[in-house]
Amino acid sequence: MNWSSYNQSLVRRGEILLGFDVIDNWDIELKEINKDKIGEPFQYPNTFLLLLGYAKAYFHLPYRQTEGIAQGHAKGKIPSIPHYTTINRRINRLDIKIKTRITKTRNLKTNTYCHCN
C-alpha cells in the first residue's frame, strides 16, 4: 500500500472546495446589475455574495469568518475582498433560503424557519 498517497487522500477530504467559477462572469454580471443603478455602483456581483451566503449558512459562520472564506479562496483572483459589513448588507438583500430538513426552510434574512414543501 502507498501510505503517502493514502495519507494525502485523507487530507484532501478535509479541504473545503467552493465553486468560485462565479469569478469567470464577474465583469459581465457587474455590468448587468449596475446598468441602470442610481448611486454608487456595486463592486461585487450577486452570485459571489450568494456563494458567501450559502457558505455562511452551511458552516454556521459569523460575518467576519465569512469574509475570511472570501480572503482565503478568492484573494488575488478578484479586484478586492468585501468587508464583512458589505457581506452582511448584500446577503440580507438577496433573501437566501436554505432547506435544513425536508419540510423546513430557513430564511437567512429573518433567521426564521417556515414549514413548507
Q: What are the tens digits of pLDDT across the range 12-67?
A: 665 566 666 788 889 999 999 999 999 999 999 999 999 899 888 888 889 999 99
The H or E element spanning position 19 is none
What's residue 117's pLDDT? 46
Q: What percent of the chain has pLDDT over 70?
A: 74
Q: Is the whole model's pTM more than 0.85, yes or no?
A: no
Per the CB < 8 A criterion, the answer to whether 52 and 21 are in contact is no
The CA distance from 109 to 97, in Å, is 8
What's residue 48's pLDDT? 92
Q: In this structure, what C-alpha cell is assigned to residue 54?
A: 450559502
The CA distance from 12 to 104, in Å, is 32
Per the CB < 8 A criterion, the answer to whether 33 and 46 are in contact is yes
Number of other residues whose CB lies within 10 A of the CB of residue 80 = 11
Cβ neighbors of 94 (< 8 A, separation 6 or more) are 46, 49, 50, 53
Top-ranked range on mean pLDDT: pick from 70-74, 80-84, 91-95: 80-84
Cβ neighbors of 44 (< 8 A, separation 6 or more) are 30, 82, 86, 90
